[in-house]
Amino acid sequence: MKHILALFSLLLLAVPGLFAQTGVLGKMEVELAVPVTATETELLNFGRIVPETAGGTVKISPQGERTSTGSITLMDDAYSAGRFTVAGMPSSLVSIVLPQTPQRLVLSSGISEVTVDEFTSDVPVGGQVVRQNDGKAEISIGATLYIANGMSNPAGYYTGTYEVVFMYN
Amino acid sequence: MKRITYFAMAVIALGVAALPATAANPTASALVEAELVQTVTLVKTVDMQFGKVALTGEGVGTLVLGVDGVITPTNLFVPTTGNVTPAAAVFGVNGLSGTSYTVSIPSGTVSLTKQGGTETMDVSAFSVKLASKVAGVTTGTIGADNSFAVGATLTIPTTQAEGKYTGSFPVSISYN
User: Residue A107's domain is classified under what CATH number?
Assistant: 2.60.40
For residues A72 and A67, what is the distance between their CA atoms, to the nearest angstrom? Answer: 10
Contacts of B154 (CB under 8 A, 6+ apart): A30, B50, B62, B63, B65, B112, B121, B122, B123
Contacts of A59 (CB under 8 A, 6+ apart): A66, A67, A68, A69, A118, A142, A143, A144, A145
| B91 and B159 together in one domain | yes
The pLDDT value given to residue B80 = 84
Closest Cα of chain B to A25: distance in Å?
Answer: 5
Res A111 pLDDT > 70: yes
Can you give the length of chain B in residues? 176
Res A7 pLDDT > 50: no
Contacts of A26 in chain B (CB under 8 A): 44, 47-48, 89, 91, 150, 168-171
| B145 and B72 together in one domain | yes
The pLDDT value given to residue A3 = 37
| B32 and B47 together in one domain | no
| B91 and B9 together in one domain | no
**Count of structural domains within chain B:** 2
| B24 and B81 together in one domain | no
Q: Which domain holds residue B31?
A: 2-36
**Count of structural domains within chain A:** 1
CB A93 within 8 A of CB A167: no
Residue A96 lies in a domain: yes
- Select the residue of A19, A30, A36 nearest B50 (Cβ to Cβ): A30
Q: What is the mean pLDDT of residues A10-30?
A: 70
Q: Mean of the per-residue pLDDT values for chain A?
A: 88
Residue A36 lies in a domain: yes
Supply the ipTM of this predicted assembly: 0.76
User: Are β-strands A165-168 and B76-77 bridged in parallel, bridged antiparallel, or unpaired?
Assistant: unpaired
| B61 and B18 together in one domain | no
Contacts of A31 in chain B (CB under 8 A): 51-53, 84, 163-165
The pLDDT value given to residue A93 = 92
The pLDDT value given to residue A18 = 54
Q: Which domain holds residue A141?
A: 31-168
Q: Is A28 within 8 Å of B51 when comparing Cβ atoms?
A: no
The pLDDT value given to residue A135 = 94
The pLDDT value given to residue A150 = 81
Q: What is the mean pLDDT of residues A140-158?
A: 92
For residues A66 and A52, what is the distance between their CA atoms, to the nearest angstrom? Answer: 18
| B132 and B115 together in one domain | yes
Question: Per-10-residue mean pLDDT for chain B, 176 residues long?
Answer: 36 39 42 54 96 94 97 94 92 94 96 96 97 96 97 97 96 91
pLDDT in tens, A51-98: 988 989 999 999 999 999 999 999 988 999 999 999 999 989 999 999
Q: What is the CATH number of the domain that holds B131?
A: 2.60.40
| B67 and B140 together in one domain | yes
| B123 and B73 together in one domain | yes
Shortest CA distance from B164: residue in chain A: A31
Residue A8 lies in a domain: no
| B31 and B72 together in one domain | no
Q: Is A29 within 8 Å of B50 when comparing Cβ atoms?
A: yes
Closest Cα of chain A to B54: distance in Å?
Answer: 5
pTM: 0.73
| B159 and B72 together in one domain | yes
| B22 and B46 together in one domain | no
Contacts of B21 (CB under 8 A, 6+ apart): none
The pLDDT value given to residue B41 = 93
Instruction: Write out the E strands in A43-164.
Output: 49-50, 56-60, 66-70, 73-74, 82-87, 93-97, 103-107, 113-121, 128-129, 136-147, 158-159
The pLDDT value given to residue B39 = 78
